[in-house]
């Protein structure tokens, strides 16, 4: 369609042409004859034809220009809509970035281990065979233990000891020159607003070539897949929830506080960050007494302003170790045989600040933990070498004990049977940093156990085991431990040298089964451990390798195990070595850590 502008222009051109034609016609008619007039008329017609062609071209150009103007207007409108949509989308993205963003972090650590165990004591077959030999009522000493009652088993053990018939333990060496593991962790952090944040960590830890996730039980609790160690000890390629909790913080009369609930950051606490090459403590409790995955809550108060003491704070903690009425044999009982196992604690900083000298940074902290009514184990899965059952087959009112070898390697679901007593522990630690390159740390710890009941697990009951007690004795014991280390950094070379030492007494007991160690917790050792290590940066703290060695000298049996009286290594008999007892061990490792 022609626009108003186009029609007006064409109208003016037509009128001008018509006037020209009339004037020219009148002039020619007056001065020329008809021949000349005809020639002139033809010339004028040709001129008019040319003018009409030019006018048509001009009209086409005007229409094209008008079309381009309309298209440009539409494009401008579309661009405005796109900009509005883009603004909305950017605003939403900025809102999520500011308030709802989940920050992800990754850690991958392949590691090569070499383990040499010297002087490993184990029960001889002449002793273990008694468990699968039928009991002889006529001559008990000529038979075995299978089918005997608890009094008969106890009498037989006492008779063997009195007659000097308890066999000596066999002594062997065990070497695994090369074992490889892979640890994977996915960290999640989200700061929703100034008062609320979330933190979580998923983890998988496996031995190369093995994803069964369930171990043959050759060393006790270390070989049980259970809630406290699923992500911290190798348990196949299954991804586990290691941490997942929220933190809500606020302030009351100049006292900052926060509350946190969920799966706790209760592993790799202070001072393990030095060997792990973390810039800060990897967990909340002191790793000297607590290194264990659990669910729970904490309430923290910052008291620095109130007391005037730099860094002074206080945190109350609660953790759940065992739920007795879900998925257990006591789930539908009014009064289950085993009560829940709960852990209570207090964590505090006594001082944390730079001293008047800028060359020293000092921190002093403590951790107290108390667990009433701890159980004789936890819910989990394992492959037991033999199965013990208790049945009254002859209907005389007294149960007999039956021992069956697990030749089919069947998986057993284990769970606690008894609340065996109370446990409490206290650690006090001092950390100093000199000149920004030398870290020195020292921790002293105390533990106390009070045995109250003998375990009703058929095997432990037959041996009279309770909390750090055997033969039916119910005793209280006190233990202690020391842990110290130094680390020196050569910043120009990206290198760090470290040395750690720890010692545990005869009755020392802690909950550190989630320590990253293939053969049990170093800090649970009843004896001595020395560990030198070297860290070399390849790309800052994001990519580095670590090489080190651990040298163990065990003084007593049962390190890390709450059941049974610890026995001096020099006095171990075959009866004490139903589960292997190690005297000397060396563990070497080389790992490459990728972390961002």
CA distance 128 to 144: 10
Q: In this model, does residue 357 exceed pLDDT 80? A: no
Contact predicate 267/227, CB 8 Å: no
pLDDT digits (tens, 9 = 90+) for 23-37: 444 544 444 455 666
Q: In this model, does residue 553 exceed pLDDT 80? A: yes
Segment holding 26, helix H or strand E: helix 4-31
Domain boundary among 82, 97, 112: 97
Contact predicate 512/268, CB 8 Å: no
Same domain, yes or no: 300 and 371: yes
Q: In this model, does residue 8 exceed pLDDT 80? A: no
Looking at residue 512, its pLDDT comes to: 95
pLDDT digits (tens, 9 = 90+) for 194-249: 999 999 999 999 999 999 989 888 877 778 889 999 999 998 899 999 999 999 99
CA distance 56 to 50: 10
Predicted confidence band at 360 (pLDDT cuts at 50, 70, 90)?
confident
407 located within any domain:
no
SS3 of residue 330 by DSSP: coil
Looking at residue 20, its pLDDT comes to: 42
386 located within any domain:
no
Q: In this model, does residue 319 exceed pLDDT 90? A: yes
Same domain, yes or no: 246 and 335: yes
SS3 of residue 124 by DSSP: coil
% pLDDT > 90, the chain: 66
Q: In this model, does residue 393 exceed pLDDT 70? A: yes
Contact predicate 166/575, CB 8 Å: yes
Looking at residue 30, its pLDDT comes to: 45
C-alpha distances in angstroms, 2 versus 62, 64, 67, 68?
9, 11, 10, 14
Residues 286-314, mean pLDDT to the nearest whole number? 95
State the CATH number of the domain containing residue 495. 2.40.160.10
393 located within any domain:
no
Contact predicate 367/427, CB 8 Å: yes
- Among 458, 460, 457, 480, which Cα is nearest to 470's? 460
Strand intervals (E) in 253-358: 255-263, 295-302, 313-322, 341-354
Residue 100 DSSP label: I
The first and second tokens of residue 558, run together, are 């049962």
Predicted confidence band at 175 (pLDDT cuts at 50, 70, 90)?
very high
C-alpha distances in angstroms, 460 versus 140, 160, 562?
21, 18, 12
SS3 of residue 270 by DSSP: coil
CB atoms < 10 A from the CB of 490, how many? 11
Looking at residue 436, its pLDDT comes to: 87
Looking at residue 202, its pLDDT comes to: 97
Looking at residue 333, its pLDDT comes to: 79
pLDDT digits (tens, 9 = 90+) for 566-581: 999 999 999 999 889 9
Output the 3-class SS for 176-225: EEEEEEEEEEEEEEEEEECCEEEEEEEEEEEECCECCCCCECCCCHHHCE
Residues 541-560, mean pLDDT to the nearest whole number? 96
CB atoms < 10 A from the CB of 44, how many? 16
Same domain, yes or no: 450 and 427: yes
Beta-bridge partner residues of 197: 191, 247
CA distance 290 to 424: 11
371 vs 215 pLDDT, higher one: 371
269 located within any domain:
yes
Handedness of CA 8, 14, 18, 19 (dihedral sign): positive
Residues 538-550, mean pLDDT to the nearest whole number? 96
Residues 164-172, mean pLDDT to the nearest whole number? 92
Predicted confidence band at 168 (pLDDT cuts at 50, 70, 90)?
very high
- For the chain, the domain total comes to 2
pLDDT digits (tens, 9 = 90+) for 462-510: 889 999 999 999 999 999 999 999 999 999 999 999 999 999 999 999 9
The first and second tokens of residue 146, run together, are 């299978």
41 located within any domain:
yes
CA distance 596 to 590: 20
Same domain, yes or no: 89 and 206: no
Same domain, yes or no: 346 and 266: yes
Looking at residue 25, its pLDDT comes to: 46
The first and second tokens of residue 277, run together, are 């090459």
Segment holding 451, helix H or strand E: strand 438-451
pTM given for the model? 0.82
Looking at residue 358, its pLDDT comes to: 66
pLDDT digits (tens, 9 = 90+) for 418-458: 999 999 999 999 999 998 899 999 999 999 999 999 999 99
The first and second tokens of residue 86, run together, are 């883009």
256 located within any domain:
yes
Same domain, yes or no: 55 and 109: no
SS3 of residue 563 by DSSP: strand
Looking at residue 62, its pLDDT comes to: 75
Beta-bridge partner residues of 319: 296, 343
Same domain, yes or no: 228 and 88: no
Omega cis (within 30) before 178: no
The first and second tokens of residue 4, run together, are 């108003």
Range of the domain at 504: 101-124+168-379+415-595
Same domain, yes or no: 343 and 442: yes
Q: What are phi and psi of 251, to 5 degrees?
A: -145, 140
Same domain, yes or no: 333 and 209: yes
Residue 145 DSSP label: S
pLDDT digits (tens, 9 = 90+) for 327-350: 888 888 777 889 999 999 999 999
Same domain, yes or no: 217 and 194: yes
Contact predicate 132/405, CB 8 Å: yes
Predicted confidence band at 73 (pLDDT cuts at 50, 70, 90)?
low
Looking at residue 461, its pLDDT comes to: 92
Same domain, yes or no: 82 and 112: no
Residues 551-563, mean pLDDT to the nearest whole number? 95
Same domain, yes or no: 546 and 578: yes
Q: In this model, does residue 9 exceed pLDDT 60? A: no
Looking at residue 1, its pLDDT comes to: 45
Looking at residue 368, its pLDDT comes to: 98
551 located within any domain:
yes
Burial of 141 (0-12, 13-18, 19+ CB in 10 A): exposed
Looking at residue 77, its pLDDT comes to: 60
The length of the chain in residues reads 596
144 located within any domain:
no
Predicted confidence band at 6 (pLDDT cuts at 50, 70, 90)?
very low
pLDDT digits (tens, 9 = 90+) for 74-113: 666 655 555 566 556 655 555 555 445 899 999 999 999 9
């Amino acid at each position: 369609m022609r626009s108003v502008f186009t029609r007006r222009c064409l109208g003016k051109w037509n009128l001008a042409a018509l006037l020209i034609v009339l004037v020219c016609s009148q002039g020619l008619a007056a001065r020329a004859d008809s021949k000349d007039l005809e020639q002139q008329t033809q010339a004028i017609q040709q001129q008019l034809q040319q003018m009409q062609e030019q006018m048509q071209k001009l009209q086409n150009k005007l229409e094209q220009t008008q079309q381009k103007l309309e298209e440009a207007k539409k494009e401008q409108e579309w661009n405005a809509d796109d900009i509005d949509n883009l603004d909305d989308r950017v605003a939403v993205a900025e809102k999520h970035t500011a308030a709802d963003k989940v920050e992800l972090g990754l850690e991958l650590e392949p590691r090569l281990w070499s383990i040499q165990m010297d002087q490993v004591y184990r029960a001889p077959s002449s002793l273990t065979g008694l468990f699968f030999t039928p009991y002889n009522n006529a001559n008990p000493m000529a038979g075995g233990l299978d089918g005997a009652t608890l009094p008969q088993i106890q009498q037989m053990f006492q008779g063997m000891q009195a007659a000097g018939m308890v066999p000596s333990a066999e002594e062997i060496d065990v070497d695994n020159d090369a074992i490889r593991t892979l640890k994977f962790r996915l960290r999640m952090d989200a700061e929703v607003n100034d008062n609320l944040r979330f933190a979580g960590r998923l983890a998988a830890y496996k031995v190369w070539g093995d994803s069964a996730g369930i171990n043959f039980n050759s060393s006790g609790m270390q070989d049980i897949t259970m809630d406290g160690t699923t992500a911290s000890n190798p348990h196949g390629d299954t991804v586990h929830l290691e941490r997942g909790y929220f933190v809500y913080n606020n302030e009351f009369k100049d006292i900052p506080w926060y509350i946190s609930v969920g799966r706790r950051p209760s592993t790799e606490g202070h001072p393990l960050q030095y060997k792990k090459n973390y810039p800060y403590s990897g967990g909340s409790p002191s790793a000297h007494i607590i290194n264990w995955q659990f669910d729970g809550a904490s309430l923290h108060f910052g008291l620095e302003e109130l007391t005037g003491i730099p860094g002074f704070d206080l945190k109350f903690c609660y953790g759940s170790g065992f739920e007795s009425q879900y998925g257990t044999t006591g789930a539908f009982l009014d009064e289950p045989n085993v009560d829940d196992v709960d852990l209570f604690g207090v964590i505090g900083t006594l001082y944390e600040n730079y001293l008047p000298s800028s060359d020293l940074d000092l921190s002093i902290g403590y951790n107290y933990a108390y667990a009433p009514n701890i159980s004789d184990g936890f819910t989990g899965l394992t492959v037991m070498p033999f199965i013990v059952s208790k049945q009254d087959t002859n209907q005389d009112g007294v149960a007999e004990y039956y021992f069956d070898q697990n030749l089919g390697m069947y998986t057993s679901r284990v769970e606690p049977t008894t609340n065996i007593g109370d446990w409490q522990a206290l650690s006090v630690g001092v950390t100093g940093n000199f000149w920004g390159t030398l870290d020195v740390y020292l921790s002293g710890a105390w533990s106390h156990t009070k045995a109250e009941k003998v375990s009703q697990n058929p095997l432990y009951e037959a041996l009279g085991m309770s909390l750090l007690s055997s033969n039916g004795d119910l005793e209280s014991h006190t233990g202690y431990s020391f842990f110290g280390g130094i680390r020196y950094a050569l910043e120009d070379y990206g290198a760090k040298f470290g040395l750690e030492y720890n010692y545990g007494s005869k009755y020392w007991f802690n909950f550190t089964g989630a320590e990253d160690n293939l053969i049990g917790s170093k800090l649970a050792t009843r004896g001595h451990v020395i560990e030198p290590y070297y860290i070399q940066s390849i790309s800052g703290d994001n990519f580095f390798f670590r090489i080190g060695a651990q040298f163990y000298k065990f003084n007593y049996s049962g390190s890390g195990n709450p059941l049974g009286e610890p026995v001096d290594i020099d006095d171990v008999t075959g009866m004490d070595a139903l589960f292997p007892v190690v005297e000397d061990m060396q563990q070497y490792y080389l790992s490459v850590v990728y972390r961002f």
